[in-house]
Amino acid sequence: MQRYRINNDVVKTPAPAGLEGYWQSKGPQRKLVSPEAIASLVVTKEGDTLDCRQWQRVIALPGKLTLLSGDLTNVTVKRELYEIEREGNTLEYDGMTLQRVDRPTTECADYLSKHPLASQLP
């Protein structure tokens, strides 16, 4: 993760073909605090995102896709930058490998029901 001071006017980029949807870690990931922890990323067609990580509690950060120096990047509301690389149904995101899933975890879906993203969910 890189941290930069960026203003709130980051230009939102629509999701490239095939990126819209729900993505989730599978199995233990070194970047997560515990082998039982789960990382999820929700991406809408319009480029809104939710970085949702859970273990003993849920930490959910809305954000948006943007292009920085030609690289597709998720910018969270905490101004954290995470580059996204996709190959088929697998994403490399914040040092983790995420796979496409049909729906978010129950905990992330609950967060989304109380804090909807700016655009329609996948």
Say yes or no to pLDDT of 2 above 50: no
Say yes or no to pLDDT of 112 above 80: yes
- The pLDDT value recorded for residue 6 is 45
Say yes or no to pLDDT of 114 above 80: yes
Give the residue among 122, 12, 118 at the shortest CA–CA distance from 64.
12
Question: How much is the average pLDDT of 15-29?
Answer: 90
- The pLDDT value recorded for residue 7 is 44
- The pLDDT value recorded for residue 26 is 84
- The pLDDT value recorded for residue 1 is 44
Mean pLDDT check: name the lowest of 33-37, 43-47, 66-70, 74-78: 33-37
Q: What is the DSSP string of the chain?
A: -EE----TTPPP-PPPTTT-EEEEE-S--TTSSSTT-EEEEEE-TTSEEEEEEESSSEEEEEEEEEEETTEEEEEETT-EEEEEEEETTEEEETTEEEEEESS--HHHHHHHHHS--SS---
Q: Domain coordinates of the chain in residue numbers? A: 7-114
Give the pTM: 0.88
Q: Which fold has domain 7-114?
A: Lipocalin (2.40.128)
5 vs 104, higher pLDDT: 104
Q: How does the average pLDDT of the chain come out, rounded?
A: 89
